[in-house]
Structure 1
Amino acid sequence: MAVFKFFHPLVWIILGGTIFTRIASFMAMPFLAIYLHNEIGASPLEIGITIGIAPLLSTVSGFFGGYFTDRFGRKIVILSTILVWSIVFFGFATAQSIWLFVLFNALNGLCRSFFEPSTQALMIDFTPADKRKRLFSLRYTAINIAAVIGPIIGVYIAKLANPSMPFILTGIMYIIYTIFLFFVLNHYTAQASQPSTKTSIRQTFTILLTNRVLLSFILGAILINIGYSQFDSTLPQFIELKIEDGVALYSLLISLNAGVVLLLQLPISIVTERFSTTTTLLVGVLFFALGLLLFGFSTNYPLYITAMVIFTIGEIFAFPTMNVMIDEIAPDTQKGTYLGAAQFRNLGGFIGPIIGGWLLTHYLDGMFIIIAILVLCSALFYRMKPQQS
């Protein structure tokens, strides 16, 4: 079929693998907090430490994951990471101590910070520059497909078997994917000489710190992520305070978010191919801010639904475009390093709930106005045009 000729076969394989591995992950990880409470008897503080260690470590170690994939090659980093990752999930299934769960979830965050830049860099290696916008849009769609399917399967399996079975099945799926990728990467990576950097890790870190365009991107992305993090943190609490049976409405909004992404991701990505990455990202910022503002003024189901649609359109414009912008900033020999360094933007996901929680307590009615202004301020960091590599 002509559609499958649009990308290199290896790219389609990695995209399919993204759905496969994310379904596996979504079967288990969304229920980790419940599992810790019910099976281990962990306290809220212990659960918070366990859950929070993964994104924190992923943010800090993303640079190293990206650097290693440029220094030692995509194949060795991808295969070794996913093999360790499978062991992590078997560890979740068998651990009895809360501190073992902290250790395994730290390794989970570390594996993600190595795996994500390496697979993205590999797809970039095999995709012409003019097709990369659509590539990252399809990748984002693949993640959302998995986010819809994975939790449903996970709940079903946990009910049929024991609560640890989703973790065991996830580990098995990761081993299967490791074996499959071993043969695939041996075949395809031999066909192309992948760029590699000989720069030391210290020199590379110094270069990144002096790259004003990259630093501006990260600072702006942190502000965007502060806004997006409200979806999972303060929005459900806000709705519960404003609407009777707020849980039902929030559940509807979660489904609506996934549905809008799956429906509009590809059409929007095709439209945005005519515009620069900066323009596309700024449009996303505008939709994000409008959606957040409308959340603050909403008083009924139709308004919240409208706000969610606008907010999700901002997500569709912004998030895939961020990876395209990093690709444009990064030199050919440091794609992985820059993609890894860009993980520092996830600090917004750590800071956002703290800011939102404080505003929820002290400034409820103006909370989303302030968050929307913060998101709009990200536009100030995207005035510098990314340099083509």
Structure 2
Amino acid sequence: MLKKLSYFHPLVWSILFGTVFTRIASFMTLPFLALYLHRELNASPVDIGVTLGVAQLFATFGGIFGGYLTDKVGRKVIILLTIFVWSAVFFGFALFHSVPLFIVLSALNGLCRSFFEPSTQALMIDFTEKEKRRRLFSVRYTAINVAGVIGPLLGVWISSLSSPAMPFIITGIMYALYGCVLVILLNHFKMRQQMATERQNLFQMFKVVGADTKLLLLIAGGTLINLGWSQYDSTLPQLVNLSVEDGVQLFSILLVTNASIVLLLQLPISIYSEKISMLKSLVIGTCFFALGLILFNMATNWPFFIGAMVIFTIGEIFAFPMMNAMIEEIAPDTQKATYLGASQLKNIGGFIGPVFGGWLLIHFPGEIYFVMAVLMLSSLIFYKRALAKNS
């Protein structure tokens, strides 16, 4: 046990455990945001798509600035500022009850995520040896899915005991508590960030990142994968609610199934993935993604939906850790956060996906996930071209 704990630096383990804590909080609320908007605010599918999509839009462009500022002013400042603003956003979700205000809060949620994710990932990279970083991304992904098992169940349970807004309040409190812990941790450990010998301004950073063809190809491929994956918490809960009785309960089970399959299969699949190329892992994952989407489109009962989620989740396990690992691998040591932040451009797929998916759900409900499956499979064209550039 001591050997396993010493595999990563204590600060890395602290952030990984903090990831579980905060993701439990966010999984109590965000996966149910579409249903909350539909039931409590009577929002239309397009309104729901815009509300969810704007978070991805701000995460997309905010990631560029967040990553740049993290490399420029340091991890500590960005992490601490963001976590407390993020806490206030969740309190706002509980207090306000109009679609326009929810759109604003959703945008702030995406902006906070786009600053916090690259900065914490870059901080963990600073404290992790290069040969251990691929494993780090897999462990982090597992940590997220530990929270994915617990969070949705807590969200449904808390909502059943009190008001639907209560999970948002509890989430805000948990983020504030984690912020206090981070203040202590980041003051205790000396930062190891490698700074550039020459300071780049924002325009120069855009020029350097924009000239990296491989990075742009990886972003393009990630955009198409995110476009399809965004249906998971936008159109899928609506489709489930329309297709079967007790749709909310089934969607909760699907969330738990997703996270449980990750916990069960993450270790054996990650061990296998480390023996093959990153591209092969992405190809396998994308094919499972596409098959899962097609099965969702055909599902009409609980077992069918659950089986489709199992297939969909296997795609996640193969693909998602590799997407960030490939970005980290090509990033210069002095621009880790900048590249991870720039990779947030792939979240434009997460903005387009809910809006496009909401439109398809209204006009072509029988074909929605067939279209998404084709788009996800087309991402492999960009990943293969990126590999060709590398060789």
Would the TM-score normalized by the shorter structure come out above 0.5?
A: yes
Q: Which residue identity is paired with 2:292?
A: G
Contact 1:59 1:347 in 2 (8 A): yes
Contact 1:133 1:269 in 2 (8 A): no
Contact 1:42 1:98 in 2 (8 A): no
Distance 1:235 1:263, change over 3 A: same
- Map 1:23-172; keep pairs closer than 5 Å: 23-32=24-33, 43-44=43-44, 49-95=50-96, 99-172=100-173
Q: Which residue identity is paired with 2:60?
A: T
Residue of structure 2 in register with 1:271 after alignment: 272
- Higher relative contact order, structure no. (Cα contacts within 8 Å, ≥ 6 residues apart): 2
Q: Secondary structure at the match of 2:190?
A: helix
Contact 1:326 1:339 in 2 (8 A): yes
Deviates more, 1:99-108 or 1:1-10: 99-108
Deviation string 1:135-169 (CA, Å, 9 cap, x unpaired) is 11111121122222223323434444555443333
Percent identity (aligned): 57
Q: Secondary structure at the match of 1:7?
A: coil
Gaps of 5+ in 2: none
Cα shift at 1:217: 0.5
Deviation string 1:21-66 (CA, Å, 9 cap, x unpaired) is 1122233434555666777x56547665544432221122111111
Deviates more, 1:94-103 or 1:163-172: 94-103
CA distance in 2, matches of 1:38, 1:297: 25
CA distance in 2, matches of 1:64, 1:141: 27
Distance 1:386 1:195, change over 3 A: farther
RMSD of aligned residue pairs (Cα, Å): 3.1
Residue of structure 2 in register with 1:292 after alignment: 293
CA distance in 1, matches of 2:366, 2:89: 43
Residue of structure 2 in register with 1:385 after alignment: 387
Deviation string 1:178-224 (CA, Å, 9 cap, x unpaired) is 2211121122234x343347111111112222211011001111121
CA distance in 2, matches of 1:239, 1:160: 24
Distance 1:326 1:361, change over 3 A: same
Cα shift at 1:257: 2.0
Distance 1:299 1:51, change over 3 A: closer
- Map 1:347-386; keep pairs closer than 5 Å: 347-357=348-358, 367-383=368-384, 384-385=386-387
Residue of structure 2 in register with 1:258 after alignment: 259
Contact 2:54 2:351 in 1 (8 A): no
Cα shift at 1:290: 3.2
CA distance in 1, matches of 2:156, 2:304: 31
Residue of structure 2 in register with 1:205 after alignment: 206
Q: Which residue identity is paired with 1:385?
A: L
Residue of structure 1 in register with 2:195 after alignment: 195
CA distance in 1, matches of 2:307, 2:36: 34
TM-score, with length taken from structure 1 = 0.86
CA distance in 2, matches of 1:36, 1:303: 26
TM-score, with length taken from structure 2 = 0.86
- Map 1:1-12; keep pairs closer than 5 Å: 1-12=2-13
Provide the aligned length of Structure 1 versus Structure 2.
385
Q: Which residue identity is paired with 2:178?
A: Y
Contact 1:51 1:105 in 2 (8 A): yes
Distance 1:156 1:356, change over 3 A: closer
Q: Which residue identity is paired with 1:133?
A: R
Contact 2:28 2:171 in 1 (8 A): yes
CA distance in 2, matches of 1:338, 1:278: 19
Contact 1:328 1:387 in 2 (8 A): no
Distance 1:93 1:298, change over 3 A: closer
Q: Which residue identity is paired with 2:83?
A: I
Cα shift at 1:235: 4.7
Distance 1:13 1:93, change over 3 A: same
Residue of structure 2 in register with 1:229 after alignment: 230
Contact 1:73 1:194 in 2 (8 A): no
CA distance in 1, matches of 2:388, 2:39: 49
CA distance in 2, matches of 1:293, 1:36: 26
Contact 1:329 1:386 in 2 (8 A): no
Q: Which residue identity is paired with 2:195?
A: P
Residue of structure 2 in register with 1:22 after alignment: 23
Q: Secondary structure at the match of 1:194?
A: coil
Gaps of 5+ in 1: none
CA distance in 1, matches of 2:369, 2:299: 11
Q: Secondary structure at the match of 1:195?
A: coil
Residue of structure 2 in register with 1:185 after alignment: 186
Q: Which residue identity is paired with 2:216?
A: L
